[in-house]
Chains A and B, each alone.
Chain A
Amino acid sequence: MLLFLFKRAMTLLLVLLGLAILIFVIARVVPGDPARIALGLLATAEQVTQLRDEMGLNDPFPVQLWMYLSGLVQGDLGKSLLTSRPVMDDIRGALPATLELVLFTLVIQIAIAIPLGVMAAIYRNSWVDSLLRVVSLIGVVTPGFVLAIILQLLAAHHLGAFPVTGRLDPGLSFSADITGLLLVDGLLYGRLDVVADASAHLFLPSIALAAAGIGQVMRITRTAMIEVASRDFVEAARAYGIPERVVTFRYMLRVASVAPLTILGLEFASLIGNAFIVEFVFSWPGIASYGVRTILQKDLNAVIGVVLVSGVFFVVANLVIDLMLSLLDPRHRIIAERGK
């Protein structure tokens, strides 16, 4: 088990390293001078030259890459041109908000999509299946920003209880200094008012963010369940007299859940990507809305930082999912370990 985890972690670290190099290369090969872009068209040639020196742009490429990677290892992502603060500090401040949103979204996705997918498979080709199919399609096809706007519109008129911007009511004074997650710290401090208010704030953005994934995961769960249902071992279990309920949940779902979990991992980057829009619309103070602002300002250091952090998110999420898969499906682990 440990060996398996270690191997997976090493693989993902390699992905991260590749990612860091790729982003750096992209940032350097795009047309235009980063210093010129940063300073704008009105800057003088001297100012540009000076900034180029400061940014190390005049060094040979390998030296630049080395400086950048060694900075990265020490957690140095350079300075943001937008906020004039170290990018790392900006990200550290915004990270918990995004983490909370994304985790909440994932929980919603799994909790809603998998049971509905199982239901659709059990009642396949009935009206329940058709209804769920339409629901899942609406989830998949509604663009995040359209859904966000519609939700805001509804909230303004009918769902008054749900605030449409920010993480927490400004009237509540609370500092989440343990984990940074309002729900968790609120519980730890026993501040139920904070938990309630933070949940209300989370509700609409996480729905907007979760919708696409819910549709997709539901669909895949359904397909996987139907595929598993046709396997011999399901027939065997039935013929040996195992009750239908147990056949469905212990025998089928456990095998079938590998597919939706894998997809959640693969699509994790898309989820983060969509967070850029959703955070922007709901003024959520996370790294994604920070990312949008810095992108609009062409703040290259900050953009690189945000993309890298998203990459780390992806890697960690996939590590967690791998762990879950290996608990669900021993073959996963046995094959990976045998490889050695």
Chain B
Amino acid sequence: MTPLLDIHDLCIGFRAYGQHRRILHNVNLHVNEGERVSLIGQSGSGKTVTMRSIIGTLPMPPGQIEQGSITYDGRSLLDLNKRDRNQLKGSGISIVLQDPMLSFNPVLTIGRQMDDIIRFGDIRTGRSRRIQDRHAHMIDTLQKVQLKDGERVLNSYPMMLSGGMRQRVLIAMALLNKPRLLVADEPGTALDVTTQAEILALLNRLVTNEGLSLLLITHNLGVVREMADRVYVMERGHIVETGTRDQIFAAPKHAYTKKLMAAVPPLYGASVKTTHHEGLKPIVTLQSVTKDFETRSGWLNRVSGRFRAVDDVSLTVRQGDIFGIAGESGSGKTTLAKTIMGLIKPSAGEVLIDGRPLDGFAGSQEFRKHIQIVYQNPGSSLNPRRTIAQQLSVPLKFTGSDSAAIGGRIRDLLELVDLPQSYANMYPHELSGGQKQRVAIARALSVNPRILVLDEPTSALDVLVQSTVIDLLHRLRREFDLTYIFISHDLSLMRNFCNRAAIMWRGKVVETGQISEIFDHPSHPYTRALLSAIPVISAEEDALKPSITKEERAAVLATSTQLEDT
């Protein structure tokens, strides 16, 4: 059987800044009719370039196809004339793009954008349909992605829909002209894990029901396991390993694949590392903390609305704890972190650090020696225009270190986070993401705090880099007897890193306790919904995930198939 899509010996180079660089090296990949194939790669591996060369949107120049061929349904895509090539777009091969917000034209209604796709698809194939027929087809297609209120969706602008709905509409758009091959670029990755699970299930169902072939491009191994029959692993423009899903996941051969697998923290099973240690006396105490936000607008910034970000939260973190605070976007976990840091004043309730209330304490020199924070994205938390040494010196300068001692302290700090001394005079953009995060950690540690708030410290990093940063954090905690408050949406990571945790849902803490207790016996339906939605990389983990009934799910999760009434 000839494959539907066959990439043979593809080499692509780029020209930039007067230099030439090869991005893809002899890539071979094929997708059979009705098959689900995944291409795994970390950022910069060349997977996006591969995708673009298939759908025909690779910018040329600077891109250049230097060798090889791409064949679709027996026709060589690179040799087709422009008209025939365009004919295949949307009707032969279609795509589902990654970011559901950015993939829409913000100024046209959904209906308008969908209608354009049908109309120009018709023109290319020499058909013509009346507007009513096209409309009916749009409503039908929206039904397929479980959007029942099609009429209202069509009349909406993209910004009026939720992220999950937008992702569904994007899938519907890809289906409009009945393609045979669907290329999906990180579908659902930008969404919360529970919404992502719905989107993945939907894609799987569509592939079966519509008889599609699927090429899925992703960095997430868990997603691949749920979505692929066959897998390609890409590293720096090379396909390093290929095989059926079970072959790859059961017995990875290439060192890179093995490394990737090992770096994914397991959710359940024998390989889970439980952090066993008991915290001592309470060091951070939250008593019924509530935070309301006011939204302001207009010429003179008047208050125009309120919402409750944190709702009556009481927690105790003990000295030595690695305390996880988990939740999806909008759950209030970041607001809570900032309240602990004294950056946001609670509307009600009290935060005690070492038994002392924050009023009058927060912001003082002594307070800063108690608690510091590491942010999610070091690209944002480091000033792009200041050298590493300048940035490391700020906390020292403002906690009264004399300038003579600062230089020596900076050298110690770089050593502490395993960075060479030469980095002191570099700017952040000269460092990799992982190195930048090390600098951010060094900065937080510079004044010898006892507590570190870690706000998603690894979520901007690739999975391989993530594990090295986590190792560093473990070492530092032991060395300096630190207490961590670890904010994250990544429950697998939390399972292996924290000893205690709290799960947040719509501003409330719904569950708190020992990490193994929460994961092995989740009591709140939301915790169970969250845990069951996480894509994992082994059958063993899948079997151990908690189960949840449809009714429970519906009660705790906002559905991504219905419009909110605003």
Interface residues of A (CB under 8 A from B): 7, 10-11, 14, 231-233, 235-243, 246, 250-251, 254-255, 328-331, 334, 338-340
Contacts and interface: CB of A to CB of B under 8 A. Distances in A.
A238 B89 contact: yes
A239 B90 contact: yes
Contacts of B94: 239-240
Most buried by B among A11, A233, A330: A233
B426 interface: no
Contacts of B56: 238-239
A240 B88 CA distance: 9
A334 B116 CA distance: 24
B428 interface: no
A331 to B, nearest CB: 6
B57 A239 contact: yes
A251 B158 CA distance: 14
A185 to B, nearest CB: 37
Contact of B157 (A10, A233, A235, A334): A334
Nearest to A340: B304
Identify the interface centre among A231, A236, A251: most chain B CB within 10 Å of its CB. A236
Contact of A241 (B86, B106, B107): B86
Given A246-B116, A254-B108, 11 more contacts: A10-B299, A11-B299, A14-B299, A232-B98, A232-B102, A233-B102, A240-B174, A241-B87, A250-B116, A255-B106, A330-B106
B61 to A, nearest CB: 9
B512 interface: no
Contact of A255 (B88, B99, B107): B107
A235 to B, nearest CB: 5
Nearest to B99: A232
B16 to A, nearest CB: 13
10 contacts: A231-B102, A233-B102, A236-B103, A239-B94, A240-B177, A241-B88, A241-B124, A243-B86, A329-B107, A339-B298
Contact of B106 (A10, A238, A239, A331): A331
Nearest to B54: A239
Contacts of A237: 105, 113, 116
B120 A243 contact: yes
A14 B105 CA distance: 34
A234 B275 CA distance: 48
Contacts of A10: 299
B160 interface: yes
Contacts of A340: 297, 304
List the 5 shortest-distance A-B pairs measured between CB atoms, nearest first: A339-B297, A241-B89, A241-B90, A232-B102, A240-B90
Given A11-B299, A240-B94, A329 B99 contact: no
Interface in B217-247: none
Nearest to A12: B299
Interface of B: 52, 55-57, 86-91, 94-95, 97-99, 102-108, 113, 116-117, 120-121, 124, 157, 159-160, 170, 173-174, 176-177, 297-299, 304
A241 B55 contact: no
A242 B177 CA distance: 12
Contacts of A238: 56-57, 89
A254 B107 contact: yes
A7 B105 CA distance: 26
Most chain B CB inside 10 Å of its own CB: which residue of A238, A241, A246, A329: A241
A251 B116 CA distance: 11
Contacts of A232: 97-99, 102-103
B89 A330 contact: no
Contacts of B299: 10-11, 14
Contacts of B298: 7, 339
A230 to B, nearest CB: 9
A242 B116 contact: yes
Contacts of B297: 338-340
A334 B107 contact: no
A328 B98 CA distance: 26
Contacts of B176: 240
A338 B157 CA distance: 14
A331 B97 CA distance: 22
Contacts of B104: 233, 236
Contacts of A250: 108, 116
Given A233-B105, A334-B157, A334-B160, A241 B120 contact: yes
Nearest to B124: A241
Contacts of A233: 102-106
Nearest to B104: A233
Given A331-B157, A334-B160, A339-B298, A240 B89 contact: yes
B107 A330 contact: yes
Contacts of A241: 86-91, 117, 120-121, 124, 177
Nearest to A244: B86
B57 A235 contact: yes
Nearest to B302: A339
Contact of A329 (B89, B91, B106, B121): B106
A330 B94 CA distance: 28
Contacts of B177: 240-241
A109 B116 CA distance: 31
Contacts of B90: 239-241
A334 B95 CA distance: 29
B106 A242 contact: no
Contacts of B105: 233, 237, 251, 254-255
Nearest to B82: A244
Contacts of B97: 232, 235-236, 239
B287 to A, nearest CB: 35
Contacts of B99: 232
B173 A240 contact: yes
A205 to B, nearest CB: 36
A1 to B, nearest CB: 14
A241 B98 CA distance: 18
B86 A331 contact: no
A209 to B, nearest CB: 31
B24 to A, nearest CB: 18
A329 B87 CA distance: 31
Contact of A246 (B102, B103, B120): B120
A10 B113 CA distance: 35
Nearest to B93: A239
Nearest to B106: A331
B159 to A, nearest CB: 6
Nearest to B98: A232
Nearest to B112: A250
A340 B304 CA distance: 6
B307 to A, nearest CB: 13
